[in-house]
């Protein structure tokens, strides 16, 4: 059992006289106080040293933060200057390309051009009869609005070109069977996902992103090798008609969208099909369809190449093909074909889309709103257009 030192001291004091005991106790206490004072002094010195080191460290941190703030401000200024220079350079490039438009997107081969012209003449012996007096064409892109990001990187969203309701339809992905219907675009923007939408089950999965909604019906291409066009009644949710597209040996219509073989589009003139075949593998073809019977009324070979094409849309019988690069850059309308021969590549303005995320998987024009419904890497985007009239020929 351990014995306390204090007990030993008091035991020793018992053998001393009272005066000696008091003096011994005072001496002991004085030694203990001296030791405590020495320790307190040591702690005080260490505390002062630590406080001084902490102040120096704080001053160093403050200095580093100030330098970082200065560097950040310098970097921000450099970024703003760089953005200004890039914007100015893009405007200068747009101006130069407008003043010196690029040549038509065809190979400079007289025999090839002659063969293409011959094919077009043989296929179009009759003149295209317009259904309306529409003479609008794009002048420029007025504004852009990013509605939200909903769904996968590729898909289609659009409104009914004919019906006056505000319903919005979403085809998410390149091979599904569920069509999503929102009552308005505002409801789509406010929706956290697709759960709030009305789910419409289609009888067959679609292929690609070339779908459209026209006069209460959804028109889409059935997934598979037959390229069967399906006409689906959105109100009754039944298939009204179907037809195999009358073109052999089809290839993807856009070089940058290999999932889409037929791009169905609607405008003021009705229903169209944009496609490509091995017979004319390098360029895009166009067909006018009867929306009631799905019959092909007329077909054209366009001079617009498939290579680097990402999507297209049609306004007043004029197809605008949008191009990009495999490494996403600025999308641009680089080739135009008008079935009524009122617009040529030389007449059409060079239209650039604002640079965003990747490349458009679909572009759907709405003639009532003068807007394009675009799907870009999962983002739903609206492009407001400035229009002008076609020149009479």
Radius of gyration of the CA atoms of the chain, in A: 38
For residue 370, CA distances in Å to 91, 130, 143 come to: 24, 20, 11
Please give the pLDDT value at position 275. 97
Burial group, residue 85, by CB count within 10 angstroms (0-12, 13-18, 19+):
exposed
Distances (CA, A) of 216 to 104, 163, 262: 38, 7, 21
Question: What would the DSSP string read from start to end of 106-137?
Answer: S---HHHHHHHHHHHHHHT-SPP--SS---EE
Contact present, 155 and 209 (Cβ < 8 Å) = yes
pLDDT band at 94 (very low <50, low <70, confident <90, very high): low
Strand partners, 244: 228
> Tokens 């969203």 label which residue?
157
Residue 200, pLDDT score: 96
Residues 214 and 227: their CA atoms lie apart, in Å, by 19
**Contact present, 353 and 116 (Cβ < 8 Å):** no
Sign of the CA dihedral with 210 first, then 367, 197, and 216 last: negative
pLDDT over 60 (residue 173): yes
Q: What is the pLDDT of residue 286?
A: 96
Domain borders along the chain are 1-100, 119-389
CB neighbours of residue 315 within 10 Å: 25
pLDDT recorded at residue 93? 67
Beta strands in the chain (DSSP E): 136-149, 155-159, 168-172, 178-182, 198-201, 212-214, 217-221, 228-233, 238-244, 262-267, 270-275, 283-289, 296-305, 309-315, 318-323, 332-338, 351-352, 360-366, 371-376, 379-389
Question: Between 2 and 289, whose confidence is greater?
Answer: 289
pLDDT tens digits, one per residue of 251-291 = 999 999 999 999 999 999 999 999 999 988 799 999 999 99
Give pLDDT, residue 153.
93
Whether 17 has a pLDDT exceeding 80, the answer reads no
Let me know how long the chain is: 393
Specify the range with the lowest mean pLDDT, choosing from 113-117, 141-145, 171-175, 362-366.
113-117
| Residue with the larger pLDDT of the pair 95 and 337 | 337
- Banded pLDDT at 349 (limits 50, 70, 90): confident
Q: What Å distances lie between residue 272 and 86, 152, 275, CA to CA?
A: 38, 26, 10
Tokens of 334: 């680089």
Local confidence band at 314 (pLDDT 50, 70, 90 cut-offs): very high
- For 304, the token pair is 């617009």
**Res. 305: pLDDT tops 70:** yes
The pLDDT of residue 298 is above 90:
yes
pLDDT at residue 116, as a whole number: 46
Nearest CA among 296, 215, 238 for reference residue 262: 296
Average pLDDT value for residue range 290-310:
94
Cα–Cα distances in angstroms (integers) from residue 323 to residues 192, 308, 311, in the given order:
32, 6, 7
At 330 the pLDDT is 83
Those residues with Cβ within 8 angstroms of residue 301's Cβ, 6 or more apart along the chain or in another chain: 116, 119, 120, 123, 280, 283, 285
Two tokens, residue 331? 């999308």
SS3 content of the chain, % helix, strand, coil (to 5): 30, 35, 35
Q: What is the rounded average pLDDT for all residues in the chain?
A: 85
pTM for this model (two decimals):
0.69
In this predicted structure, which of 13-17, 216-220, 333-337 has the lowest mean pLDDT? 13-17
Domain 119-389, what architecture?
Beta Barrel (2.40)
């Amino acid at each position: 059992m351990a014995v306390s030192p204090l007990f030993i001291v008091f035991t020793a004091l018992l053998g001393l006289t009272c005066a000696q005991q008091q003096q011994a106790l005072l001496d002991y206490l004085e030694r203990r106080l001296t030791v405590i004072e020495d320790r307190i002094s040591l702690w005080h010195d260490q505390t002062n040293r630590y406080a001084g080191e902490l102040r120096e460290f704080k001053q160093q941190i403050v200095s580093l933060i100030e330098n970082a703030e200065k560097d950040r401000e310098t970097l921000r200024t450099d970024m703003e200057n760089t953005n200004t220079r890039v914007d100015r350079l893009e405007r200068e490039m747009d101006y130069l390309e407008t003043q010196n438009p690029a040549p038509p997107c065809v190979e400079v081969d007289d025999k090839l051009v002659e063969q293409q012209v011959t094919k077009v003449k043989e296929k179009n012996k009759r003149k295209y009869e317009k259904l309306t007096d529409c003479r609008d064409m794009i002048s420029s892109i007025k504004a852009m609005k990013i509605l939200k990001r909903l769904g996968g990187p590729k898909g289609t969203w659009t409104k009914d070109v004919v019906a006056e309701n505000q319903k919005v339809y979403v085809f998410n992905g390149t091979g599904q069977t569920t069509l999503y219907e929102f009552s308005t675009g505002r409801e789509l923007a406010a929706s956290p996902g697709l759960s709030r939408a009305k789910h419409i089950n289609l009888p067959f999965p679609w292929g690609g992103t070339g779908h459209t909604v026209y006069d209460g019906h959804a028109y889409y291409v059935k997934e598979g090798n037959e390229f069967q066009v399906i006409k689906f009644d959105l109100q009754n949710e039944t298939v009204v008609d179907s037809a195999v597209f009358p073109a052999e040996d089809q290839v993807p219509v856009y070089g940058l969208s290999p999932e889409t073989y037929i791009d169905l589009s609607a405008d003021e003139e009705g229903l169209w099909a944009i496609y490509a075949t091995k017979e004319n593998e390098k360029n895009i073809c166009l067909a006018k369809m009867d929306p009631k019977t799905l019959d092909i009324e007329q077909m054209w070979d366009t001079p617009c190449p498939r290579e680097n094409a990402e999507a297209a849309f049609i306004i007043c019988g004029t197809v605008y093909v949008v191009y990009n690069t495999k490494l996403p850059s600025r999308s641009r309308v680089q080739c135009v074909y008008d079935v009524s021969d009122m617009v040529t590549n030389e007449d059409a303005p060079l239209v650039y889309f604002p640079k965003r995320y990747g490349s458009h998987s679909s572009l759907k024009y709405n003639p009532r709103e003068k807007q394009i419904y675009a799907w870009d890497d999962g983002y739903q985007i609206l492009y407001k257009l400035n229009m002008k009239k076609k020149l009479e020929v």
